[in-house]
Amino acid sequence: MRNFALVELGGLLFINLAPEPLPLEDQFPPGFIALLKSSAEAYDTEVIMTTWHAKFNWKLIYENLRDFNHIKYLHAKSLVKIANFPFGAADVDVAEAPLQDCSPAALRREMRTFSYGGPEGKIDPVKREPWMNMVERWGDTDAYFNWLAYPNLHIACGNGGYSFAIENHVPVSPGKTDVELFFMTARKRKSYAFSPQVLLAHMHYGKKILSEDIGMLEAVQAGLHIDAPVPTQGAYESTNRQIERWYTTLMETDHEI
Ligand SMILES: [Fe+2]
């Protein structure tokens, strides 16, 4: 029988089928795991899901998610209207220099910095909907929460703890990615008749937001060719540049994690 690791964080299961599974604590920072566990314990068990078949490379979507400034531009008529997302950029581009320590322990340490979670946009105040009275809210912070789990998992909460979206990005081929999308509310206080409609409304709203991302990412992918100009990256893309430095070290040189 193969060795495998299974970690349960509230309503989330992480399964690693590798012969020597990487411990979850090596992949994600402790604060990230704690906040994810706390929120995932609030998930209800009634879930709606769908899969989008997108025409872009799976790495483009994690780069897009780590460019927080894209929200102001790409989601100007959607997400921007529900929360106040600040602009941000790193002061120092540490990715300018090559990685100093390429030992497995150091590469794992570097990888942990690519995952983070927390409140990103202040919501003032959360718009109350009737269904919110039917669920046990997670926490009491009026904010848009994001959890970015490197490399291919994104979880969001757009209403301060009343419901959650899970996005899993599955690489299919160099130019194709399946985007699996799940929605659930926070745990119900008791069953109510219109809960499937609440989840369906979440899915419709999620389609609107995700269409803005997918449309742009498919256009980027369609424009890629061997002679395409190298894009100019700004300080706001510092995390993506650090990921690229780490990824090329891992993939193009004789190093492992
Ligand atoms: Fe987006």
Tens digit of pLDDT for each residue in 205-214? Answer: 999 999 999 9
Tens digit of pLDDT for each residue in 94-148? Answer: 888 889 999 999 999 999 999 999 999 999 999 999 999 999 999 999 999 999 9
What's the mean pLDDT when you consider all of the chain? 94
Q: Percentage of the chain with pLDDT > 90?
A: 84
What is the whole-number distance in angstroms between the Cα of residue 216 and the centre of ligand 1? 9
- pLDDT value at position 89? 82
| pLDDT confidence bin for 256, thresholds 50/70/90 | confident
What is the whole-number distance in angstroms between the Cα of residue 190 and the centre of ligand 1? 33
- pLDDT value at position 156? 97
Beta-carbon contacts of residue 189 (< 8 Å; ≥ 6 apart): 134, 135, 136
- pTM value? 0.94
Task: Say whether pLDDT at 47 is over 80.
Answer: yes
What is the whole-number distance in angstroms between the Cα of residue 116 and the centre of ligand 1? 16
What is the whole-number distance in angstroms between the Cα of residue 1 and the centre of ligand 1? 41
Supply the DSSP string of 198-227, one letter for each residue: HHHHHHHHHHHHHHHHHHHHHHHHHT--TT
Sketch out the chain's domains with CATH numbers. 43-252 (3.90.380.10)
What is the whole-number distance in angstroms between the Cα of residue 100 and the centre of ligand 1? 33
What is the whole-number distance in angstroms between the Cα of residue 209 and the centre of ligand 1? 7
Q: Can you tell me the distance from the alpha carbon of 156 to that of 160, in angstroms, rounded to the nearest whole number?
A: 10
Q: Can you tell me the distance from the alpha carbon of 42 to that of 67, in angstroms, rounded to the nearest whole number?
A: 28
What is the whole-number distance in angstroms between the Cα of residue 213 and the centre of ligand 1? 5
| pLDDT confidence bin for 253, thresholds 50/70/90 | confident
